[in-house]
Amino acid sequence: MKRKLEISELIFKIISYTLLTMFALACLYPFVYTISAAISGRHAVDYNDLVLLPKQVQFEAFSKMFDNNSFWNAYTNTLFLTFYGTIWEVILSIFGAYALSKKRLLFRKGFNFFLVFTMWFSAGLVPQYLNYLATQRVFNAVGIYDDKWLVVIAMGMAAMNIILLRNSFEGVPSEIEEAAIVDGATEMQVLWRVYIPMSKSIIATVSLFFAISRWNGYFWARQMISDTSQQPLQVYIRLRLEEYTDPDFLTGWNEVYSSDSVIYALIVVSIVPILIIYPFIQKYFAKGVNVGGVKE
């Protein structure tokens, strides 16, 4: 009987590892292909002669991209939106989650219901657009027009992330808060010195969600920012894609690299920062929500 269990367990492991390996390779292939297409020659890319490894290796596509000041301007805009957008969104979410985690908050159940309701039933694209237009009018009233801060401020809320933080705050033992209050801590000190340190893992996770959302943000950035000097990298990639697929633009193209290679090069440099940051944030995922507690 024990022998049969060992054989069945071995078969299960072989099948599981095989399927996981195939799944990992399927996820990895697009990244490898994108890098290969970015550094492959024009003939290999245009005639679909590229399968996995690069052919007719060249780096002219990257040189073309790096020599363009518009690319660096768009990259800077994306860094701006990601950095300040993430900070703004995390601050709002922490304050909102902290308030909603308190049972003494008036109409707490109603606020929580309306927060969850926005996840169940979305208002739709048009009401959301009107909401962002209202933000834009406020900026225009103080003399700010067509600015990156419009996207930072308007995209500052996410119900799911507030709920995650709220649930984390609710798990903090009340005895720790009571001890801090007895020691003379104010409400802000309780939040800063008790709740935030004990919720580092979920705050790091939510920050990563916000950062990825802002880094990949395209639609609202294009709708709300018409000034090309203020547009982020994702909008810049889309505009270059439209340009490099225009038949009139491709007429007389005689470079050693394909026009598609420039797009692939843009994609490569757009995902590198997230790939670098993710391993440093990932360590927080395995940690518990609370880093301390009270033994009763």
Q: Report percent pLDDT > 70 for the chain.
A: 87
Least confident of 73-77, 95-99, 100-104, 151-155: 151-155
Confidence of residue 119 (pLDDT cuts 50, 70, 90): confident
Tell me, what's the pLDDT at 18?
A: 92
Q: What is the pLDDT of residues 161-178, one digit of tens each?
A: 888 888 888 888 888 888
In degrees, rounded to 5, the angle at the alpha carbon of residue 130 between the alpha carbons of residues 128 and 136 is 110
Please provide the average confidence, as pLDDT, over all residues in the chain: 80
Cα dihedral 150/155/156/162 (nearest 10): 180
Helix axes 233-244, 69-100, angle to 10 degrees: 140
pLDDT of 2 > 70? The answer is no
- Look up residue 122 and give its amino acid: S
Q: What is the pLDDT of residues 196-222, one digit of tens each?
A: 888 888 888 888 888 888 888 887 788
Determine, yes or no, domain membership for 177: yes
DSSP 87-128: HHHHHHHHHHHHHHT-TTSTTHHHHHHHHHHHHHS---HHHH
In degrees, rounded to 5, the angle at the alpha carbon of residue 206 between the alpha carbons of residues 294 and 72 is 145
Determine, yes or no, domain membership for 192: yes
Determine, yes or no, domain membership for 78: yes
Query: Could you list the residue range(s) of the whole structural domain that residue 51 is in?
Result: 2-282
Is the sign of the CA dihedral 220, 222, 226, 229 positive or negative?
Answer: positive
Determine, yes or no, domain membership for 288: no
Number of domains in the chain: 1
pTM: 0.79
Determine, yes or no, domain membership for 290: no
Confidence of residue 293 (pLDDT cuts 50, 70, 90): very low
pLDDT of 263 > 90? The answer is no
Determine, yes or no, domain membership for 291: no
pLDDT of 41 > 50? The answer is yes
| Mean pLDDT, range 101-127, rounded to an integer | 80
Determine, yes or no, domain membership for 57: yes
Q: Report percent pLDDT > 90 for the chain.
A: 5
Tell me, what's the pLDDT at 291?
A: 39
Closest Cα to residue 273, out of 221, 202, 200, 208? Answer: 208
CATH of the domain at 146: 1.10.3720.10
Tell me, what's the pLDDT at 295?
A: 39
| Mean pLDDT, range 112-129, rounded to an integer | 77
pLDDT of 253 > 70? The answer is no
Determine, yes or no, domain membership for 130: yes
| Mean pLDDT, range 256-275, rounded to an integer | 84
pLDDT of 19 > 90? The answer is yes
